[in-house]
Structure 1
Amino acid sequence: MTPPGAARAAPSGAGHPPAGHGLLWLLLGIAVLFALLRPRPPRELIALVDWQTVGALAGLLLITQGVEASGMLQRLAQRLLVRVTDERVLAFGLAGGAALLAALVTNDVSLFLLVPLTRVLATQAHLPLARLVALQALAVNAGSALTPIGNPQNLYLWHRSGESFAGFVAMMAPTVAVMLFWLAVAVWLLVPRQPIALREPQDHGAVQPRLLAVSALLFVGFVVALDRHWLLPGLIGVAAVFALVRPRVLLGIDWALLAIIALMFVDLRQLAALPWVAEMLRAAPIGEGWRAYLAAILASQVISNVPAAILLDGAVRDLPALAAGVSVGGFGFVLGSLANLIALRLARVPHGLAEFHRISLPFLLVCTASALPLRLG
Structure 2
Amino acid sequence: MTVIKNIARDRILQVTAVLTVVSLFFARPRIQDINFHTLYSVLAMLTIIQIFSYLHVLDVLAYKLTTSARTTRRLTAIFTYLSVISAMFLTNDITVLTLIPLYLTIAHKHHLPEILPVTLIGMGANIGAAFTPWGNPHNIFIVNTYSVTPGKFFGWSLPLLIASLILLTGLLFGVKNTPIPSVPLENIHISWRPTILTILVSVFFFFGVFNIVPAYVPAIVAIILAIFINPRILLYLDYALLLTFTCFFIFISDIQQVPLIVAIVQHTMFSKHSVYLTSIISSQFISNVPSTILIGKFTSFAESLFLGSNIGGFGSIVGSMANMLVFKSFAENGTVSKSRFFWIFSALQFFGLLVLTIFGWLILDFVY
> Which TM-score applies when normalising by structure 2?
0.67
Identify the residue that residue 24 of structure 1 maps to in structure 2: 10
Q: Pick from 317, 327, 332 the counterpart of residue 315 of structure 2.
A: 332
Q: Pick from 190, 209, 224 the counterpart of residue 236 of structure 1.
A: 224
- Do the aligned partners of residues 61 and 100 (structure 1) sit closer, same or farther apart at CA in structure 2, a change above 3 Å counting? closer
Between 26-35 and 59-68, the greater mean CA deviation after superposition? 26-35
Q: Does residue 257 of structure 2 align to residue 278 of structure 1?
A: no
* Pairs aligned (count): 333
Q: Does residue 98 of structure 2 align to residue 116 of structure 1?
A: yes
Identify the residue that residue 59 of structure 2 maps to in structure 1: 73
Q: Percent identity?
A: 21
Identify the residue that residue 92 of structure 1 maps to in structure 2: 77
Identify the residue that residue 35 of structure 1 maps to in structure 2: 21
Q: CA deviation at 1:22?
A: 11
Q: 2: distance between equivalents of 1:365 and 1:271? A: 31
Q: CA deviation at 1:77?
A: 5.1
Identify the residue that residue 242 of structure 2 maps to in structure 1: 262
Q: CA deviation at 1:175?
A: 4.1
- Do the aligned partners of residues 261 and 128 (structure 1) sit closer, same or farther apart at CA in structure 2, a change above 3 Å counting? farther
- Asked whether the 8 Å contact 1:146–1:169 carries over to 2, the reply is yes
Identify the residue that residue 50 of structure 2 maps to in structure 1: 61
Q: Pick from 304, 310, 316 the counterpart of residue 321 of structure 1.
A: 304
Q: 2: distance between equivalents of 1:62 and 1:374? A: 36
- Do the aligned partners of residues 236 and 321 (structure 1) sit closer, same or farther apart at CA in structure 2, a change above 3 Å counting? closer
Q: Does residue 203 of structure 2 align to residue 219 of structure 1?
A: no
- Asked whether the 8 Å contact 2:138–2:292 carries over to 1, the reply is yes
SS at match of 2:173: helix
- Asked whether the 8 Å contact 2:96–2:322 carries over to 1, the reply is no
- Do the aligned partners of residues 120 and 269 (structure 1) sit closer, same or farther apart at CA in structure 2, a change above 3 Å counting? same
Q: CA deviation at 1:156?
A: 5.8
Q: Summarize deviations over 1:225-276 as a string: whole Å, max 9, x none.
A: 6345232343233233326xxxxxx389646xx2442353255445544335
> Which TM-score applies when normalising by structure 1?
0.66
Between 93-102 and 145-154, the greater mean CA deviation after superposition? 145-154
- Asked whether the 8 Å contact 1:119–1:129 carries over to 2, the reply is no
- Asked whether the 8 Å contact 1:161–1:319 carries over to 2, the reply is no
AA aligned to 1:67 is H
Q: Does residue 257 of structure 2 align to residue 290 of structure 1?
A: no
Q: 1: distance between equivalents of 2:156 and 2:45? A: 29
Q: Does residue 195 of structure 2 align to residue 192 of structure 1?
A: no
AA aligned to 1:241 is I
Q: CA deviation at 1:373?
A: 4.6
AA aligned to 1:296 is S
Q: 2: distance between equivalents of 1:25 and 1:62? A: 25
Q: CA deviation at 1:328?
A: 1.2
Q: CA deviation at 1:57?
A: 1.6
Q: CA deviation at 1:294?
A: 0.5
Q: CA deviation at 1:161?
A: 7.8
Q: 2: distance between equivalents of 1:325 and 1:233? A: 33
Q: CA deviation at 1:65?
A: 2.2
SS at match of 1:83: coil
Q: CA deviation at 1:81?
A: 3.8
- Do the aligned partners of residues 374 and 66 (structure 1) sit closer, same or farther apart at CA in structure 2, a change above 3 Å counting? closer
- Asked whether the 8 Å contact 2:249–2:293 carries over to 1, the reply is no
Identify the residue that residue 3 of structure 2 maps to in structure 1: none
Q: CA deviation at 1:129?
A: 5.7
Q: Does residue 166 of structure 2 align to residue 181 of structure 1?
A: yes
Q: 2: distance between equivalents of 1:24 and 1:233? A: 27
- Asked whether the 8 Å contact 1:218–1:238 carries over to 2, the reply is no
Q: CA deviation at 1:84?
A: 0.5
Q: Summarize deviations over 1:298-336 as a string: whole Å, max 9, x none.
A: 233345445544543464454443332222112223443
Identify the residue that residue 301 of structure 1 maps to in structure 2: 284
SS at match of 1:230: helix
- Asked whether the 8 Å contact 2:51–2:233 carries over to 1, the reply is no
Q: Which runs of 5+ in 1 are unaligned?
A: 1-19, 244-249
AA aligned to 1:120 is L
Q: 1: distance between equivalents of 2:287 and 2:93? A: 18
Q: 2: distance between equivalents of 1:164 and 1:224? A: 13
Q: Does residue 364 of structure 2 align to residue 364 of structure 1?
A: no
- Asked whether the 8 Å contact 1:87–1:194 carries over to 2, the reply is yes
Q: CA deviation at 1:130?
A: 6.5
Q: CA deviation at 1:290?
A: 2.7
Identify the residue that residue 15 of structure 1 maps to in structure 2: none
- Asked whether the 8 Å contact 2:280–2:308 carries over to 1, the reply is yes
Cα RMSD, aligned residues only: 4.6
